[in-house]
Amino acid sequence: MEIFGGFTALQLAVALGAALGASFVRGLTGFGMAILLVPVLALALPPVEAVVLGNCLSVLIGLTEVRMLVREAERSAWVISGIVVLTTPFGMWALFSTTADIARLVIALIAFSAFVAILLPRRGEAVPGPMVTGGVGVLSGLMTGYAGMPGPPVVPYYAGRTLPRITIKASMLLIFTIAASAGLVSATWLGILRVELALFALVMLPVILIGNRLGMAVSGRISDPVWRSVVGLVLGGAALGALLRLL
């Protein structure tokens, strides 16, 4: 039975539960909301709508933190964000052109790729070369459009380096906010952003803010090695969960 904007009670319950958990992880680690949220939403909603809804939520919560993100982010985040804006429409077009089953498979594989990437050896503080930075931007843009997940290339790029935690988190979240904005523009251009999805995101926003605030509180109380371990565990859990749901 539909109770809100064409969505059923079950869809609302799944979305709100997933949003609370995913936003807690976002506040704790600086990423993970899309990686955790979109695969769950894609079980209750068509994959295209799951991606668009995830982008709506990322933009809304990013706007509440924009001053901190701009102040603390590394300059490379702006370069990657610019490339993401240019490449996101191509990923959205690919999503719009494939079947739901294929989209779910790709989303699961993207979640798994993030876990594999974080296992690579850590690097120093130096910014990687322009080829690596550009490649991260291209992949992140394509993944933003196709799966609403800009994180798989971005998280290892920052978390795999010896940088202050605040710089890592702010850089990633700035990219994710801009990427989500580009995803919404692309969705509007393709005619797949429904008013109901935007309203659904506004209904979910208080839950997202609560989960994010709780995650930030916990993050401030744990050491850097523990935080980095949590990052790996989150990616591994998201990858395993996505693959199990697919099977």
Q: What average pLDDT does the segment 99-127 reach?
A: 72
Mean pLDDT of 203-219: 91
191: left (phi over 0), alpha (psi -120 to 50) or beta: left
Residues whose CB is less than 8 angstroms from the CB of residue 192 and which lie 6 or more positions away in sequence, other chains included: 48, 49, 52, 96
Give the per-residue pLDDT at 246: 63
Paired tokens of 151: 């994180």
Q: Taking 60 as the threshold, does the pLDDT of residue 3 lie above it? A: no
The least confident of 27-36, 73-82, 188-197, 227-236 is 227-236
What letter does residue 221 receive in the DSSP assignment? T
If pLDDT is split at 50, 70 and 90, which confidence band does 160 have?
Answer: confident
Q: Please tell me the total count of domains within the chain.
A: 1
Identify the residue with better confidence: 5 or 84: 84
**What would the two tokens of residue 198 be?**
């935007």
Whole-number Å distance between alpha carbons of 164 and 79? 19
Strand partners, 8: 2
Residue 71 pLDDT grade (very low, low, confident, very high; cuts 50, 70, 90): very high
Q: Which residues contact 164 (CB under 8 A, 6 or more apart)?
A: none
Q: What is the mean pLDDT of the chain?
A: 82
Domain that holds residue 72: 2-246
